Structure formats: C-alpha cells, structure tokens
Amino acid sequence: MLKPPYTRYDQLHVYNFDRTNLGEIDDPDLIGTWIEDNTAILFFHKEKQALVDTICARAEATILYQAQLDYQDWEAGLDITTFTVPPLTVVPLWEEQQLAKEDENIPIRLDPSVIFGSGFHPSTRLCLAVLTDLLTSHPKKIRTMVDLGTGTGLLSIGAAKLGVEEVRAYDNNPFACSVAEKNVALNSCQKQIRVMETDLRNGLPDTGVDMVVANLYKSLLIDLFQNPDFWKAKYYLISGFIPSMEEELLATLPMDQLKLLERRKSDIWCLWLLAKKAVEGRGMRHAVCGVR
C-alpha cells in the first residue's frame, strides 16, 4: 500500500521467501507481504538486498526468486489511470488531484497496490459495468451483497456507493484484505462494508443475501456451484472464466433453480448474471442488455 513519502508505484522489488514466518518487518519502503502456498512474497519500492539478507539469517529463510519490474509490467503492461463506468469514476490515488471538478460521476478513490482489482482487468470491468447497470436501473432492489474474492474491494465499494446497504467482502489473501480495508476507508464506506479474511475452500460464508458477486477462477467456482448452500441468494454475478470453460461450469449449475439473465464477454473473459427462478421476471431482465 502507499504510505508517505510514496504517492505512486514506480519500480517493484519482489522477494519470494521459502517460508511465511519472517518476524516483524518494519521498513518504510515495504509495499506489503503476500502469503501464498506457505511462502511469503515481499514487495518493496526499492532494492532491499541488505534487509533481505538480514531476514534470511534471522528466520533461516531462503530466497526462491527475486525480481525487479515496472509497476506497469505487474499490471499486464497497462497504465493504471482514471476510468469511468457511469455513474462511477475510479481514480487511482496518484491522479486524485487531477480529478476534474466538473466530473459529475461518483468518485471512487483507489490504492490498487499490487492486488487484483485495479479495474483494468476485463473481468473486473465487466463486473463493475453489470453491477452499475443493475443498481442504477433498480435502486433499492439489492440491499445486501457478498463479494467473494474481493481483491482491492473495488466491486464492494462500487456497490456501496450505489446504495447497497450491507456488503460482506471476503478474500483469503491477508494483503488483499488490508488493501481492501484501506480502500473502504478512503471512500468512507466502513459502515456499509465489512472485509473478512476467509479461505472459501475451507467454508462458505452465509450467502443469504440479495446478490453474490464472485469473480474467481474455474476450480473454485465449480466447488462453490456444487455446494447447495451457495444458492441462497437472489442474484449471482459470476466471472473469472473464459468461453472454453463454460460448458464444464454450466454442467455444475443447478439450472432447475436458475435463469441466465445475461452473458457478457470482454476480451477472452466472460460474465454471467444469474437469478433464482423465484425472483426472476420482475423486470430485472430488462435492466441489462441481453447476451452480448
């Protein structure tokens, strides 16, 4: 995350340690620590070889790999910049001074850090677009939401800004949870959004809400789809898969209970908007623009 004196990301210095227990690391250039598969990946703004050597000696750790890259390269070669999905304008912190006063959209201030959910991945953008369509054309229809795999928290914040009263946002990556919490606070959404660290493979949060958003990946989606407790919500916004995966995913959906209201695609990424049959047919279908 950005902490003074840093106001943007430029170079990333990445060190992957072979263990997670590295002790306290209090360094002004540390962006954050990503825990994955019993390893720790530390991201810094600057080269940190001396510190890394100290950590290795202290924690009896070994470096599995290290890399230096441009922030743009981490973000798939893209410049993370302000974008609009009406009526929302998403502004990375380093551009907030440039936000035009005459911009009538609702601003979302975002520190994407190195977490998924800057808004520049097609699956995030698709989710945000369908979410804004739904929430603006049917205000108050969706009051409660669960965001599974929240990343930066962008989709939860977008929903809260458009009137969703209660959002529970889950992620298994503690670094993602910290970034999401920071973004929730930056947008004064603490009353509406609770961020929780949870591994969805170890248990499903209560999905008895108006809408579940799940921009995840195929194997986790299949696990969720096969759990009858997943299907307690009224609407489901599902993404994170490509056309070649659709048949396998469709086969695990309880289609006797569901209607596919919309399928959208951007680049190679797909999104489904599903509704429980009991609630579908009250106009929501016309909120969105059909299969694209």
Cβ-proximal residue to ligand SAM, closest one = 149
Torsions phi, psi for 20 (to 5 deg): -100, -25
Shortest Cβ 251–ligand SAM spacing (Å): 21
Q: Nearer Cβ to ligand SAM, position 52 or 135?
A: 135
Shortest Cβ 53–ligand SAM spacing (Å): 29
Site for ligand SAM (CB under 6 A): which residue of 48, 89, 110, 171?
Answer: 171
Per-residue contact flags (x/-) with ligand SAM for residues 82 to 121, judged by CB under 6 A: ----------------------------------xx----
Torsions phi, psi for 181 (to 5 deg): -60, -40
From first CA to last CA, the distance across the chain in angstroms is 36
Q: Nearer Cβ to ligand SAM, position 48 or 118?
A: 118
Q: Nearer Cβ to ligand SAM, position 15 or 175?
A: 175
Site for ligand SAM (CB under 6 A): which residue of 109, 149, 167, 222?
Answer: 149
Query: Residue 124 and residue 126: Cα distance in Å, rounded?
Result: 5
Whether residue 129 contacts residue 262, with contact meaning beta carbons closer than 8 Å, is answered with: no
Q: Nearer Cβ to ligand SAM, position 55 or 240?
A: 240
Query: Residue 137 and residue 204: Cα distance in Å, rounded?
Result: 30
Tokens of 38: 């019993």
Whether residue 142 contacts residue 164, with contact meaning beta carbons closer than 8 Å, is answered with: yes
Regarding 183 and contact with ligand SAM (CB under 6 A), the answer is: no
> Look-up: residue for tokens 């396998």?
248
For CA atoms 12, 175, 242, 267, the dihedral sign is negative
Q: Nearer Cβ to ligand SAM, position 51 or 288?
A: 288
Query: Residue 129 and residue 85: Cα distance in Å, rounded?
Result: 6
Cis omega (within 30 of 0) for bond into 87 = yes
| Total number of residues that touch ligand SAM (CB under 6 A) | 22
Sequence length of the chain is 292
Regarding 74 and contact with ligand SAM (CB under 6 A), the answer is: no
- What is the C-alpha R_g of the chain? 20
Tokens of 82: 């302000």
Whether residue 61 contacts residue 41, with contact meaning beta carbons closer than 8 Å, is answered with: no
Shortest Cβ 47–ligand SAM spacing (Å): 27
* Binding range to ligand SAM, per CB under 6 A, among 70-78, 97-105, 166-174, 183-191: 166-174
Regarding 233 and contact with ligand SAM (CB under 6 A), the answer is: no
Site for ligand SAM (CB under 6 A): which residue of 32, 92, 158, 240?
Answer: 240
Site for ligand SAM (CB under 6 A): which residue of 201, 277, 286, 292?
Answer: 201
Regarding 73 and contact with ligand SAM (CB under 6 A), the answer is: no
Residues that bind ligand SAM (CB under 6 A): 116-117, 124, 127, 149-151, 154-155, 170-173, 176, 198-201, 215-216, 220, 240
